[in-house]
Amino acid sequence: MPLGNSLMVAQVISSAVPRGDTSVQLISGLLLLGGLGFALCFGALFLGWLIRPRRHNMEKDAIYECGEPTIGSSWVQFDLRFYVVALVFIVFDVEIALFWPWAVVYGGAGVDAADLLSVKTLALFDMLFFFGVIVVGFLYLWRFGYLDWVRSTVSQQRRVPGASLAAATGEAKG
């Protein structure tokens, strides 16, 4: 059978499959796989708990930090740069998430883009504006050094009016 025919058959077939039941399928699949994972995970832990030895001692129950006695808790304040990464991630992820439904609707809307004033063109320019906002935000982050993992004081001094890059490095040298 030539490929074109088989594709047409496939399209006919995929339109013949009832689509109303997919959410039931998804939920049942999710529950089944999740339940299976839950059972396997806690079943294995429980089975092991029944048969494995338990011999506690103080040394064994201590936190392993290369044999040195532990100093303090590890739940301490951590570097602020991780916070910036999380913040930038949220902004970007939400923006990309808004892109997805648009991509599906626009991509499925057919291919006649001749008329400049059609809804399709307007939708494209809407999305380009949105995309531009993402890019400008990204360039802002880049310009002011939020994407640099190793930060220096220079990028902060750059923002102070009158302080040039050369002056900043000169100060650091002196």
Partner 1 sequence: MIVEWVQGQAQLVFSCLLALVVVGVMLLGVAYSILAERWIAAWVQDRRGPNRAGFFRLFGSFHFWGLGQPIADGGKFFLKEDIIPDNVDKPLFILGPATIFIVALVGFAVIPWGGQVQIGDALLNVQVANPDIGLLYVLGVGSLGVYGVVLGGYASNNKYSFFGGIRATAQMLSYEIPMGLAILVVVLATGQLRLEEIVLSQMGDGDVWNVVRHPLACFLLVVTLFAETSRTPFDMPEAEQELVGGFHTEYSSMKFALFFLAEYAHMITGSAFLMVLFFGGWHIPFVPGLQPGDTAWWAMLLKMLVMAGKIALMMVFYIWVRWTLPRLRFDQLMRLAWKGLVPLGLGLIAFALGMLYIGKPQAWVWTLVGNVVILATMLGITALIPSRVTGRQYDMPELPPRTSAPASIGGP
Contacts (CB under 8 A) with partner 1, residues 36-95: 36-38, 40-42, 44-45, 47-49, 51-55, 60-66, 73-76, 78, 82, 85-86, 89, 92-93
124 binds partner 1 (CB under 8 A): yes
Least separation, in Å, of the C-beta of 161 and partner 1? 19
126 binds partner 1 (CB under 8 A): no
Least separation, in Å, of the C-beta of 159 and partner 1? 14
130 binds partner 1 (CB under 8 A): no
**Contact present, 121 and 113 (Cβ < 8 Å):** yes
**Exposed e or buried b for every residue in 143-167, given b needs 16+ CB within 10 A?**
eeebeeeeeeeeeebeeeeeeeeee
Q: Which two tokens stand for residue 127?
A: 């999305």
| Out of 122, 128, 133, 136, the residue judged to bind partner 1 by CB under 8 A | 128
117 binds partner 1 (CB under 8 A): no
- Which residue has 């494209």 as its token pair? 124
Q: Which long-range contacts (CB under 8 A, 24 or more apart) does 34-37 make?
A: none
